[in-house]
Amino acid sequence: MGDTVIGVDLTKRVFQIHGAAMDGQVKFRKKLTREQFRKFMAEQPSSLVVFEACGSASYWAREMTKLGHEAKLIAPQYVRPFVKRQKNDAADAEAIVIAAQRPEMRFVPPKNEDQQARAVLFRSRQRLVNQRTELVNALRAVLYEYGYVFPPHIAQLKSIEALIMEPSCDLPELVITECQDLLAQIAEKTARIEGRMKTLKKLATEGDVARRLQTMPGVGPLTALSIEAFAPDMEQFTSGRRFAAWLGLVPRQHSSGGKERLGRMSKAGQADIRQLLIVGAMSRLSPRGNRSIKGGSWLATMLTRKPKMLVAIALANKMARQLWAMLTNDEDFRDPAAATT
């Protein structure tokens, strides 16, 4: 690889690039359109090209690799401290170069096309779920105005529909029509969600990685595919603890003077995987999942001393470490409690 680092500040139409030698000497500063940028980079000798990890960054990283360059991504929060005075595209591109030259800098691996496709499908389902929740809340709000109160749960739709279809319903005709329209929209969203879920479950049966992940209790198709779509290569993490920290499943530190101060969960990592692991942990602590918890085990002891949600987060942290071990060792889940008996 050459001795030039090229920082690129991505926008929709115009790219600001900053080229510098490894010793920091500036070689060029340019403002190029998308077409000019691709042509300019094709004419450059092999260099280290660095982008902020933002929209289209993985695509451009793959394109730079095709042109013979080495491409890397940096999280925006690691670039921000290197911006000098005023923030603009040129200053951002220069800050990307300065950050990339730091020997201790941590980079974000670009996603391949399959990972991005899975991420699009995953987020598409999540978006539909959010839209359906909005419609359900709107329906409940309309009925609340007329004295009907329903709990915020999707299972209440049958009771709401029964109320609307009741011949003796005392709601105004216009309100009944509006509620029927909302119910029709909710049904449409539900059908779309089920279609996405069917595709996700099919994908979860095709790959060996997703199949292996689902051997762990509390890990289903959504969690397995979210790890495939959003997690980098596990070799990037030296231990399961670092993977759990990357997910944001560790306490936030505010330590100084040799005194350790730990706060609430940091939530500073990958939100999709973290949320699903906590949901999976909660399912293992439910009345049905509780039956598999052996008396005297770590989990049983925690449940007697700590709130259920805190135990779920601790269990999600442990699950993350176990998932790291499963993927790095190419092994299915093995219950540690069963191994000691």
Taking 80 as the threshold, does the pLDDT of residue 94 lie above it? yes
Q: How far apart are CA 1 and CA 234, in angstroms?
A: 25
Name the H helices within the chain.
Answer: 34-43, 57-66, 76-79, 89-100, 113-144, 157-165, 173-206, 208-213, 221-230, 240-247, 271-284, 298-305, 308-329, 336-339
Closest by alpha carbon to 118, among 220, 209, 230, 271?
Answer: 230
Contact status, residue 25 vs residue 9, Cβ threshold 8 Å = no
Q: What is the pLDDT of residues 197-237, one digit of tens each?
A: 999 999 988 888 889 999 999 999 999 999 988 988 888 88
Q: Is 150 strand, coil or helix?
A: coil
Q: What are phi and psi of 71, to 5 degrees?
A: -115, 140
Q: How far apart are CA 22 and CA 20, in angstroms?
A: 7
Structure tokens at 96: 């990307």
Q: What is the pLDDT of residues 269-305, one digit of tens each?
A: 788 999 999 999 998 888 776 777 777 778 888 888 8
Label residue 341 by pLDDT band (50, 70, 90): very low
Over pLDDT 90: what percentage of the chain?
A: 59
Domain 4-100, CATH among 3.40.630.40, 3.30.420.10, 3.40.1440.60, 3.30.260.10: 3.30.420.10
Q: What is the pLDDT of residues 164-190, one digit of tens each?
A: 998 888 899 999 999 999 999 999 999
Q: How far apart are CA 51 and CA 76, in angstroms?
A: 9
Which amino acid belongs to residue 8? V
End-to-end CA distance of the chain: 54
Average predicted confidence (pLDDT) for the chain = 89
